[in-house]
Amino acid sequence: MKTQIEVEFFKTGYIPGGSNPLEALLSALGGCIGIYADKYLARHSIPYTKLKVLVTADFTTESPARLVNIAAKVDTDAQLADKREVFLRFIGNCPIHNTLVNTKEVKVSLSM
């Protein structure tokens, strides 16, 4: 099985040469959704040859600077029929997605 994760590039001011932390965050989301999609399809014995997750977002410099309009699109040839909504709920429960939508605060401290 080959899983493909794509993150659309957005300009952050970072010098090219590797992924920046925002791209890594979106890649983590895509990877998590992809793993959950594969897990669901395997558990229900639904065959597929294509599973692609495309994650997109916009970067805003409005205070506070952040990603907005985060979206993930799963492209698969799996025949989901009447299981489509259940599949979407299942993959939407991956830990990265749950963390992003349910975390109100991240504590930052300084150690000297």
Task: Output helix, strand, coil percentages for the chain, rounded to the nearest 5.
Answer: 40, 20, 40
Q: Say whether domain 4-102 belongs to CATH 3.30.300.20.
A: yes
| Closest C-alpha among 107, 33, 104, 45 to residue 78 | 45
Cα–Cα distance, 44 to 100 (Å, whole number): 27
pLDDT tens readout for residues 33-80? 999 999 999 999 999 999 999 999 988 889 998 889 999 999 999 999
Contact, 29 vs 6, CB < 8 A? no
Query: Cα 74 from chain centroid?
Result: 10
- Reply yes or no on whether the pLDDT at 7 is more than 70: no
- Residue % of the chain over a pLDDT of 70: 84
| Closest C-alpha among 80, 60, 58 to residue 69 | 58
Q: How confident is the model at residue 9 (pLDDT cuts 50, 70, 90)?
A: low
pTM of the model: 0.83
Residue with the larger pLDDT of the pair 109 and 19: 109
Q: How confident is the model at residue 1 (pLDDT cuts 50, 70, 90)?
A: very low
Across residues 100-104, what is the average pLDDT?
93
- Reply yes or no on whether the pLDDT at 11 is more than 60: no
Q: How confident is the model at residue 18 (pLDDT cuts 50, 70, 90)?
A: low
Question: Domain boundaries in the chain?
Answer: 4-102
